[in-house]
Amino acid sequence: MLEGELVRLRALEPEESDRIHGWVHDPDVGRWMNHSYPRSLAQLRKRAEERPVNSYELVVLGIEAKADGQLIGIIDLRDAEPEVGNAELDIYIGEAEYRGGGGYGTEALRLMCRYGFNSMRLHMITLWVVAENERARHVYRKVGFTEDGRHREAFVAMDGKRHDMILMSMLKGELRS
């Protein structure tokens, strides 16, 4: 368990699938994420029950608000390669009232990056963000990510419109607290 002032990061429980299923339909979350074909609650529950234990290759953690113990989002580090020490990060705050200024996402990012650099001994953490997602880009820059480049028209939104994606990275030693 990783603990800050506002949030703790901990493993997800299968019964939390119902809450996560609700988040998937929130357009403020969904419009910035790579979307898959619609999945039923039963399929999501089954996937959660079969989820492998967290490991170097894939660490998926729930973001829990410390004040009320509520699960408010998910953060993961995936595809870590021991030879190069790189991994890719994803995050979203699913609970709308905790999003956009409370500092929950910022603290979760710092905790996860610190874990990646210190415990997993990563050298670099990367992520992709849709160019128009100004809030996420602001938060990523604030915690120490740098914009490396632009993948033109690489993201297709739910309405079929294409958007550029920005590749960002943070090296060990660049995390801003």
Ligand X SMILES: CC(C)(COP(=O)(O)OP(=O)(O)OC[C@H]1O[C@@H](n2cnc3c(N)ncnc32)[C@H](O)[C@@H]1OP(=O)(O)O)[C@@H](O)C(=O)NCCC(=O)NCCS
Window contacting ligand X (CB under 6 A); options: 7-15, 51-59, 101-109, 147-155: 101-109
**Cβ atoms of residues 143 and 125 within 8 Å:** no
Counting contacts by CB under 6 A, is residue 102 touching ligand X? yes
- Among residues 27, 52, 101, 173, the one that binds ligand X under rule CB under 6 A: 101
Closest to 64 in 3D by CA, of 13, 101, 114, 115? 13
Q: How far is the CB of 1 from ligand X (least distance, A)?
A: 19
- Among residues 8, 62, 106, 117, the one that binds ligand X under rule CB under 6 A: 106
For residue 37, what are its two tokens?
Answer: 């074909």
For residue 134, what are its two tokens?
Answer: 């100004």
Distance in angstroms (rounded) separating the CA atoms of residues 64 and 5: 11
Kindly report each contact of residues 101-104 with a partner whose C-beta sits within 8 Å and lies 24 or more positions away, as own/partner. Answer: 102/6, 103/6, 104/6, 104/7, 104/63, 104/65, 104/72, 104/73
- Among residues 29, 58, 131, 171, the one that binds ligand X under rule CB under 6 A: 29
Q: How many residues bind ligand X (CB under 6 A)?
A: 22
Binding mask 131-150 for ligand X (x = CB under 6 A): --xxxx-xx--x--------
Counting contacts by CB under 6 A, is residue 93 touching ligand X? yes
Counting contacts by CB under 6 A, is residue 23 touching ligand X? no
For residue 153, what are its two tokens?
Answer: 């028209």
Strand partners of residue 91: 75
Counting contacts by CB under 6 A, is residue 91 touching ligand X? yes
Counting contacts by CB under 6 A, is residue 100 touching ligand X? yes
The residues that touch ligand X, with contacts defined as CB under 6 A, are 28-29, 32, 91-93, 99-106, 129, 133-136, 138-139, 142
